[in-house]
Amino acid sequence: MSSVAKSLRGQRIMVVEDDYLVALALSATLEQAGASVVGPIARAQEAVILIEEGREHIDVAILDVDLNGEKSYAVADALALRHIRFVFATGYGVDAVDRQYRQYPRCQKPFDHEALFRALTVRGN
């Protein structure tokens, strides 16, 4: 396990992903790195409710940009309001993310796990 992956140990990472197999694989990868997964959650509204209720501690989140045709920006806004870091995930280029959200980290699908781990551990958003 890389030192970057080890830095995820003990972190609670919310996974917001609508593709079941991607969510399952991503969750397993994060758990192998020692993180606890909150979710996975497939709908933006469910994620926003979970964040607003505040019953789950979340250190960082991974947000699929497109959730069954709905953008995950409401989730990003709820996280940003609470100063919780997040990374957008998309199988498309930078243009898939609206301009006002392009300052946040983005990882390309399929995931390069080391790049994703680095993005999750970088402070700043």
Domain containing 91: what range? Answer: 3-121
- Single-letter amino acid, residue 23: A
pLDDT confidence tier of residue 97, bands split at 50, 70 and 90? confident
pLDDT in tens, 29-78: 999 999 999 999 999 999 999 999 999 999 999 999 999 989 999 999 99
Q: Identify the CATH number of the domain in which residue 17 sits.
A: 3.40.50.2300
84-94 residue pLDDT tens: 999 999 877 77
Is 61 within 8 Å of 86 (Cβ atoms)?
yes
* Whole-structure pTM value: 0.90
> How many Å apart are CA 48 and CA 35, to the nearest integer?
21
Q: Write down the pLDDT at residue 45.
A: 96
Overall number of domains in the chain: 1
Local structure of 1: helix, strand or coil: coil
